[in-house]
Amino acid sequence: MALKLSDKFIKSFVSDDEIKAITPDVNAAVATLRNRTGAGSEMLGWMDLPVNYDKEEYARIKAAAKKIQSSCDLFIVIGIGGSYLGARAVVEFLKSPRYNLMKKDTPDIYFSGCNISGGDLDEILALCEGRDVCINVISKSGTTTEPAVAFRYFRAMLEKKYGVDGARERIFVTTDKARGTLKKFADEAGFETFVVPDDVGGRFSVLTAVGLLPIAVAGIELDELMGGAADARKALSEPDVMKNDAYKYAAIRNILYRKGKAVEIFVGYEPYEQMFCEWWKQLYGESEGKDGKGLYPSSVIFSTDLHSLGQYVQSGMRTMFETVLDVETPDSNAAVPYDPANIDGLNFLADMKMSEVNRMAMNGTLLAHVDGGVPNIVLRLKDRSARSLGYMIYFFELACGVSGYMLGVNPFDQPGVEAYKKNMFALLGKPGYEEMTEQLRARL
Ligand code: PA5
């Protein structure tokens, strides 16, 4: 197994008896999920994706990635929420948060359409000057404002640079197989299209074309990522809660939630985990935060954030627990240099690998936070490989489905996301929103 849960640092907060007591709830949630009898059961396509995917499209994704790699040096991925977080998380986790600055034979990748910032659009446009560019616009609904505006922007740039026919060869569209304005437009314009399956929601879509095309463009081995997810699908079909770490994770976080620990902090110890934290936050926040319920998902990267949020975690309000990601196999041999003068007194660390120093920082923090009243779930990931990451992605998706049903919510919808959109459209004067426009403007 590429990922293992250690409950050593929650023992003083959650007893084995409490886990046994909540097991019937876990089993009921698992049955609801696996028998497809719960709310949102039409959105469970992600459960079988690692083995049951469109093989013809998968081959087309690989071919399109090769074409993009050979025809551009700057690739713009346009999407928001589940339509970009997974791809960005995987690229940064496996390559680097500094991917664009690294020596490589794959294009730079910029993510756009995930905000409403004119300055951000200007910056990416400026970066395109003198470079060959391709774009992948991703939107399941095909109507989301942020990516739609960015698509207008960069499509105009491509058409000016390469002409309408040339631009067509550089635009790749990932959207619904039949519905939405983006699909209609792509078909009319003749862009190559990829499908977001009907039964896979945005935040569960990283292993569809949504994530796979940008991930492949970055030169990451798709078969390994999918293989890891398939390993997890198999290993995590174990029905015994005590032997199935995804179920156990769902059980522990629900026990802690019921005890008033309403904030879960995902803790990474490597900068490359930052965007994975963002993906994880969307997965859990959008799946569970509804009907007045749900853990608030937060994240930190230590030791960096020990110097900003560490104080609060150590001794602020005792409403949180931590889920710590420990990547077990170091991916660097960097060590602390020896200094004959030893002016800083650090020679006791001389020649010690940074990974070992980091591990001691993690162990010291685990003990301090537990002593401070913060339960710590530890997830030990074998290594920083595509296979292990695929396993971890599936682990969190499965645990999220189970945990959401344990909470009594529909983990697969996101009705709350619509509220701001309606207000924004009304305030912008979109036709059809006239009545709301007056009411909202009067309140500002
Ligand atoms: O998880 C989700 O469903 C959302 O985050 C969506 O991915 C996000 O709102 C973007 O939607 P769309 O892909 O329809 O543009």
pLDDT given at position 212? 98
- Compute, in angstroms, the gap from residue 348 CA to the centroid of ligand 1: 51
Give the residue among 139, 29, 140 at the shortest CA–CA distance from 410.
Answer: 29
Region 113-127: what's the mean pLDDT?
A: 98
The atom of ligand 1 lying closest to the CA of 83 is 7
Instruction: Kindly state the percentage of the chain with pLDDT values over 70.
Output: 100
Q: Which amino acid is at 291?
A: D
pLDDT given at position 364? 98
pLDDT given at position 297? 98
Beta-carbon count within 10 A of 418 CB? 9
- Compute, in angstroms, the gap from residue 69 CA to the centroid of ligand 1: 26
- Compute, in angstroms, the gap from residue 81 CA to the centroid of ligand 1: 5
Q: Which of 42, 43, 46, 83 to mutate to test the pocket of ligand 1 (most atoms within 8 A of CB)?
A: 83
Region 355-374: what's the mean pLDDT?
A: 98
Beta-carbon count within 10 A of 371 CB? 10
Give the residue among 116, 138, 128, 123 at the shortest CA–CA distance from 159.
Answer: 128
Residue 424 confidence class, pLDDT cut points 50, 70, 90: very high
Q: Which of 140, 203, 396 to mutate to test the pocket of ligand 1 (most atoms within 8 A of CB)?
A: 140
Which residues have CB under 8 Å from 398's CB, separation 6+? 47, 232, 233, 236, 246
Q: Which of 137, 144, 421 to mutate to test the pocket of ligand 1 (most atoms within 8 A of CB)?
A: 144
- Compute, in angstroms, the gap from residue 197 CA to the centroid of ligand 1: 13
Region 203-222: what's the mean pLDDT?
A: 98
pLDDT given at position 327? 98
> Model confidence over 137-180: pLDDT tens digits?
999 999 899 999 999 999 999 999 999 999 999 999 999 999 99
Between CA 29 and CA 31 the distance in angstroms is 5
pLDDT given at position 286? 98
pLDDT given at position 398? 98
Q: Which amino acid is at 153?
A: Y
Q: What are the residue ranges of helices labelled H in 81-221? A: 85-94, 118-128, 145-168, 181-189, 209-217
Structure tokens at 184: 């209609």
Region 377-387: what's the mean pLDDT?
A: 98
Between CA 279 and CA 210 the distance in angstroms is 13
pLDDT given at position 208? 98
The atom of ligand 1 lying closest to the CA of 147 is 15
Between CA 322 and CA 265 the distance in angstroms is 5
Residue 78 confidence class, pLDDT cut points 50, 70, 90: very high
Q: Is 142 in contact with 181 (CB distance < 8 Å)?
A: yes
Residues at CB less than 6 angstroms from ligand 1: 80-83, 139-141, 144, 147, 201-203, 286, 414, 417
User: Which residue's alpha carbon is at the smallest distance from atom 3 of ligand 1?
Assistant: 202
Between CA 216 and CA 213 the distance in angstroms is 5
Per-residue DSSP letter, 336? P
Give the residue among 316, 284, 291 at the shortest CA–CA distance from 400.
Answer: 284
Q: CA 6, 10, 16 angle in degrees (round to 5)?
A: 85
The atom of ligand 1 lying closest to the CA of 144 is 15
pTM: 0.97
Residue 43 confidence class, pLDDT cut points 50, 70, 90: very high
Between CA 84 and CA 397 the distance in angstroms is 16
| Alpha-carbon radius of gyration of the chain | 23
Mean pLDDT of the chain: 97
- Expressed in percent and rounded to 5, the helix, strand and coil fractions of the chain are 55, 15, 30
Q: Is 41 in contact with 100 (CB distance < 8 Å)?
A: no
Residue 332 confidence class, pLDDT cut points 50, 70, 90: very high
pLDDT given at position 409? 98
Q: Is 113 in contact with 79 (CB distance < 8 Å)?
A: yes
Looking at the chain, the number of H-run helices and the number of E-run strands are 15, 10
pLDDT given at position 79? 98
Q: Which residues are known to be catalytic? A: 286, 307, 421
Region 214-225: what's the mean pLDDT?
A: 98
Give the residue among 412, 282, 390 at the shortest CA–CA distance from 53.
Answer: 390
Q: How many residues does the chain have?
A: 444
Between CA 42 and CA 62 the distance in angstroms is 28
Helix (H, G, I), strand (E, B) or coil at 314: helix
Region 366-395: what's the mean pLDDT?
A: 98
Between CA 29 and CA 22 the distance in angstroms is 11
- Compute, in angstroms, the gap from residue 182 CA to the centroid of ligand 1: 14
Torsion of CA 267, 270, 271, 276, to 10 degrees: -50
The atom of ligand 1 lying closest to the CA of 138 is 13
Give the residue among 174, 393, 354 at the shortest CA–CA distance from 271.
Answer: 354
pLDDT given at position 15? 96
pLDDT given at position 209? 98
pLDDT given at position 324? 98
Residue 294 confidence class, pLDDT cut points 50, 70, 90: very high
